[in-house]
């Protein structure tokens, strides 16, 4: 296999196209959604050289058969391989390569990394055995992945005076304020512009308050092959919570994407209820049902890893 570094948007699109086909063949157990790839690359790994944190591999015919997202600051890597490679010697070699590269990047950027993490879905005991054989041990429940089949969507209307708006680059100041008052205060207009204008972005819809302020948002991506969408993330400004804005946005998005693009399912993940009870309650109120539990598997650093 030939190892390549991310160079341009076509590399992302090629990995997303492969991932959609793999999911179509093997199902969604232990595979990312198409939208996760760009979100992890441009948002989760924001500030890192994309050519360092995104790698992919081609077989002798030039087909993309694996790709990896390396997150040294979060102490994780996510390796996705074609169904036919799962559990193979090539899979082992790629996995160990990702271990070594994540450690190298952690030292390069002085992140103070002490452990490595990978995700494993409870629906895939073979992969759980695979990571345990590599020295990883289950540490904690990471997220619950939920699914909605777009049937029996609830009625969910915005409060009087609110409206839904599809965000554009002209909204960056407002978007920055919205994100900073929803999650961590880490963005400015220039830094969020690098995320919003990145090639992965598809939709960001916001609920606009009567006074013109952006009150809530939902980012979503469309998998055209499997006719699904992913919400990642959904959030509400701290001044506008408990008004039903997130629910109204999600229902609006699902109805619109079902009508315009034939989408038949939607996914969203949330942290365990003891860490973030509000998100799980929101998604349940919309009609999302638990699909898979995703667990964090940890390995202490210091183990040798092979090159590839």
User: Would you state the pLDDT for residue 272?
Assistant: 84
> Which pTM value belongs to this model?
0.93
Q: How does pLDDT run across 22-74, given as a tens digit for each residue?
A: 999 999 999 999 999 999 999 999 889 999 999 999 999 999 999 999 999 98
pLDDT at 307: 42
Predicted confidence at residue 302, as pLDDT, reads 63
User: Which tens digit of pLDDT belongs to each residue from 279-306?
Assistant: 899 999 999 999 999 999 999 986 444 4
Q: Which structural domains are found in the chain, ordered by start? A: 2-142+294-300 (3.40.630.30), 153-286 (3.40.630.30)
The predicted structure's pLDDT at residue 5: 98
Strand ranges inside the chain, DSSP E: 2-5, 54-58, 64-71, 76-81, 115-121, 137-148, 163-166, 203-208, 214-223, 228-236, 265-270, 289-300
Token couple for 42: 């441009």
Q: How many H helices and E strands in the chain?
A: 9, 12
Query: Which stretches of the chain drop beneath a pLDDT of 50?
Result: 303-308
């Amino acid at each position: 296999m030939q190892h390549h570094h991310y160079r341009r948007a076509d590399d992302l699109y090629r990995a997303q196209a492969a991932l959609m086909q793999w999911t179509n063949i093997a199902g969604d157990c232990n595979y990312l959604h198409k939208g996760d790839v760009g979100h992890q690359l441009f948002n989760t790994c924001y500030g890192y050289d994309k050519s360092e944190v995104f790698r992919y591999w081609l077989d002798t015919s030039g087909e993309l058969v694996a790709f990896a997202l390396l997150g040294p600051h979060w102490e994780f890597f996510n390796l996705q391989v074609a169904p036919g490679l799962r559990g193979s010697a090539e899979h082992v070699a790629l996995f160990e390569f990702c271990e070594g590269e994540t450690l190298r990047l952690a030292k390069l950027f002085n992140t103070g990394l002490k452990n490595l993490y990978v995700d494993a879905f409870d629906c895939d005991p073979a992969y759980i055995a695979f990571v345990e054989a590599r020295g990883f041990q289950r540490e904690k429940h990471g997220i619950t992945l939920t699914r909605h089949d777009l049937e029996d969507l609830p009625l969910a209307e915005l409060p009087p005076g609110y409206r839904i708006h599809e965000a554009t680059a002209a909204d960056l100041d407002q978007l920055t304020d919205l994100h900073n008052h929803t999650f961590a205060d880490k963005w400015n207009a220039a830094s969020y512009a690098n995320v919003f204008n990145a090639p992965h972005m598809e939709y960001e819809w916001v609920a606009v308050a009567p006074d013109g302020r952006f009150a809530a948002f939902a980012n979503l991506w469309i998998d055209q092959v499997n006719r699904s969408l992913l919400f990642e993330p959904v959030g509400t400004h701290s001044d506008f919570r408990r008004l039903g804005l997130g629910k109204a946005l999600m229902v609006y998005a699902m109805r619109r994407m079902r009508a315009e693009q034939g989408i038949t399912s939607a996914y969203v993940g949330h942290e365990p209820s003891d860490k973030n009870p509000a998100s799980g309650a929101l998604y349940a109120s919309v009609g999302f049902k638990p699909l898979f539990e995703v667990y964090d598997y940890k390995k202490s650093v210091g183990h040798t890893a092979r090159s590839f």
